[in-house]
Amino acid sequence: MTPVVSVIIPVRNGREFIHEALASVCTQSFSDLEILVIDDGSDDFDYQTLTQLDSRIQVHRLEGSGVSTARNTGMKLARGQFFAFLDADDVWFPGKLVAQIRYFEGHPEVGCVFGGFIKWTRAADGGFPDATSLVQDCSALTRCEAERSGWLYTRLLDGLLVGMNTAVIRREVFEKLGGFDASMRIGEDYLFWLKVSRIYPMHALDGPVALYRIHEASAMRRLDPENHLTDLLKIAVGRWGLTNPDGTGLPRDEFEKRLAESEFTHGYNHFWEGSPTVARRAFLRALKGGILPLRSAAYIALTPFRQALLSLKPHPSA
């Protein structure tokens, strides 16, 4: 029979974490689902053995095509009315799917229901705290968070984050828009949500629904010389402007401030953990945009002394 929900889990060499991720799906009180594990060229484990854990689990093999292609493959194979996403190193809270499907049923105009997440960081001993100490039952969530719900295009431009492991979309979203841009190395999920926000309202439940694991391979930890966020923001505004489908908009000066803030963050991350040359260029762009001028100028002046500062204080707060 056709399941109500298709859960799409891309994985590449994720043996260390995937069993915990799958357990958080298989124990959901909403059980009418299929679980599509897309093994993208892993060589650390025989992922086909995961089908022995639960009859709803299917494993499909790709040969290192990238996470976007893996997610797109999952959506093409999916039979459900709704598509839910989970990365192989993250964990859902109990009751997540019950709350989200119930919300969809009461809000037929909404194309995506997402929620908050809790960052899951390593403890002092290098391990991760037990998930049971952090998760909470979210089945009672019924309301949306007003500031993060509605026609979200301009709020996404202005920094609103949709956590991939928190999101569920209607099948028709994929049928209308297609999947993720597999040509992008970074920011493909952000572009996807921007596209969704152009044709559907998106609502956020008023509470966390997942754990997001922060480790060396996490998207939040990756640094690149290019500021892909700034580039993507400019592309989006060039294509869709600064107005939501309902006529509300983001003032141009607010958007310019957002660009400059992105440059400051890019510079800060590179100053402490990346390239000082990249950092200096980013701080110059932030300074030109008028964001935190004193701090931007200070970081520019301190760039030649970065190595000495690292030895004194490896990672100060921003």
The one-letter code for the residue type at 128 is F
Q: Which of 22-31, 143-152, 221-230, 276-285 has the lowest mean pLDDT?
A: 221-230
Q: Is residue 62 within a helix (H) or strand (E), and if so which, with residue range? A: strand 57-62
What domains does the chain contain, in order, with CATH numbers?
5-221 (3.90.550.10), 251-312 (no CATH)
Sign of CA dihedral 98, 117, 82, 40: negative
pLDDT over 90 for what percent of the chain? Answer: 79
Q: What does the pLDDT read at residue 313? A: 57
Residue 293: the pLDDT is: 87
Percent of the chain with pLDDT over 70: 95
pLDDT band at 200 (very low <50, low <70, confident <90, very high): very high
For the ranges 152-156, 240-244, 299-303, which has the lowest average pLDDT?
299-303
pLDDT at position 312, please?
A: 66
pLDDT confidence tier of residue 191, bands split at 50, 70 and 90 = very high
pLDDT of residue 318: 46
The mean per-residue pLDDT over the stretch 297-301 comes to: 91
What's residue 220's pLDDT? 47
Q: Strand, coil or helix: what is 152? A: coil
- The pTM is what? 0.89
Q: Of 33-42, 43-52, 184-193, 202-211, which range is least confident? A: 184-193
Q: How confident is the model at residue 221 (pLDDT cuts 50, 70, 90)?
A: low
pLDDT tier at 223 (50, 70, 90 boundaries)? confident
- Local structure of 261: helix, strand or coil: helix
Tell which residue, 150, 155, 73, 48, has the closest CA to residue 107: 150
Point out which residues pair with 135 in neighbouring strands.
none
pLDDT attached to residue 212: 95
Tens-place pLDDT, residues 6-62: 999 999 999 999 999 999 999 999 999 999 999 999 999 999 999 999 999 999 999
Tokens linked to 205: 């439940």
Closest CA to 77 of 124, 105, 36: 36
- Mean pLDDT over 240-249 rounds to 96
Nearest to 262 by CA among 190, 166, 184: 190
**pLDDT tens by residue, 56-109:** 999 999 999 999 999 999 999 999 999 999 999 999 999 999 999 999 999 999
For residues 205 and 97, is the Cβ–Cβ distance under 8 A? no
Q: Which tops the pLDDT comparison, 24 or 123?
A: 24
pLDDT at 143 > cutoff 50: yes
